[in-house]
Amino acid sequence: MPVSQSQALPPQYVEDLQKDYGKQLTAMTAAPLDTAKFAPTVAGQDQYQQDAYTMAGQGIGAYQPYITQASAYTGPGSQQAFMSPYQQDVIDTTMTEYDDQAQRGIMGIADMATKSGNLGGGREGVMRGQYQNKSDMNRALLYAGLQQQGFGQAQKGAQQAYMNQMQMAGSVPGMQRADMQV
């Protein structure tokens, strides 16, 4: 049996429109699409925001010079910068005065030996030896005490300088926050 087929075709203007649409769609999708127009953007900053950003950028690590300087006040030899430039003069003058006093003491032993008639005798030699030994020990103790006193003062100065630097480093963030809260 023969088959019959019927077809309902659209009007000619619709077929022309479809062909034209297909050509235009092909041409349009063949060109690369500029997606930069669709990228998200951030609103611009006003002057206050820019100033705050600049201050914050300068503030990151702004405490570092204080920490670096504070580290110079720790460890062996850190107190050297705080030693008094007059310390050696004081020690020298004190030791000279001590030596003069010690010499007078030896002269006193000689005077006593002369008065008692034992000048140059064994008893005088023993007394001189004991006196000189005690004098030398006292001189060494005096010298060490003066050195220790100068060292202690210099060490306190270094500790105070260290604490000052650390305090200044700690205050930097607060000052920066105050600048940004204008």
User: Is 30 a domain residue?
Assistant: no
User: Is 122 a domain residue?
Assistant: yes
Q: How many CA atoms lie within 13 A of 60 on its CB side?
A: 5
Question: How many whole angstroms from its chain centre is CA 103?
Answer: 52
User: Is 44 a domain residue?
Assistant: no
Contact 165, 73 (CB under 8 A): yes
pLDDT computed for residue 27 by the predictor: 86
Outline where 31-121 has alpha helix (H). Answer: 47-59, 64-71, 87-116
Predicted confidence band of residue 19 (pLDDT cuts 50, 70, 90): very high
Contacts of residues 50-55 at CB distance under 8 Å and 24 or more positions apart, as own/partner, are 52/180, 55/176, 55/179, 55/180
What digits encode the pLDDT tens for the residues 44-96?
Answer: 888 888 877 777 666 666 777 777 887 777 777 778 888 888 888 999 999 99
CA distance linking residue 164 with residue 69, whole number of Å: 10
User: Is 18 a domain residue?
Assistant: no
pLDDT at 158 over 80: yes
User: Is 171 a domain residue?
Assistant: yes
User: Is 98 a domain residue?
Assistant: yes
Task: Say which DSSP state 33 is in.
Answer: P
Q: Say how many domains are in the chain.
A: 1
Q: Which domain holds residue 160?
A: 49-180
